[in-house]
Amino acid sequence: MTTSADAPTTRATGAAERRGPLRVGDRVQLTDPKGRLHTIVLAPEGTFHTHKGYFRHDDLIGRPEGSVVANTAGIEYVALRPLLSDYVLSMPRGAAVIYPKDAGQIVQMADIYPGARVVEAGVGSGALSMSLLRAVGDDGSLHSIERREDFAAIARGNVENFFGGPHPAWQLSVGDFADVLPQIAEPGAVDRIVLDMLAPWENIDAAATALVPGGVLICYVATATQLSRTAEDLRADGRFTEPAAWESMNRGWHLEGLAVRPEHRMIGHTGFLLSARRMADGEEAPERRRRPAKGAYPTGDEGTWSPEELGERAVSDKKLRRVRRDVGQAPEV
Query: Under a CB-based contact definition with an 8 Å cutoff, are residues 23 and 58 in contact?
Result: no
125 is in an annotated binding site: yes
128 is in an annotated binding site: yes
Q: CA 11 to CA 135: how far, in whole Å? A: 14
Query: Which parts of 207-312 are beta strand (E)?
Result: 211-221, 244-246, 250-256, 259-267, 272-277
208 is in an annotated binding site: no
Cα-based distances in Å from 85 to 11, 113, 176, 194: 20, 19, 28, 19
Cα-based distances in Å from 173 to 136, 273, 313: 18, 24, 23
Q: CA 264 to CA 182: how far, in whole Å? A: 48
Which candidate, 176, 182, 184, 180, places its Cα nearest to that of 200?
176
Q: CA 175 to CA 152: how far, in whole Å? A: 10
Cα-based distances in Å from 9 to 15, 78, 164, 237, 278: 14, 33, 11, 41, 34
131 is in an annotated binding site: no
Contacts of 225 (CB under 8 A, 6+ apart): 310
Which candidate, 215, 173, 214, 172, places its Cα nearest to that of 191?
215
176 is in an annotated binding site: yes
Q: What DSSP line would sit under 95-140, residue for residue?
A: SPPPPHHHHHHHHHHTT--TT-EEEEE--TTSHHHHHHHHHHTTTS
Known binding residues for S-adenosyl-L-methionine: 125-128, 146, 176, 196
Known binding residues: 125-128, 146, 176, 196
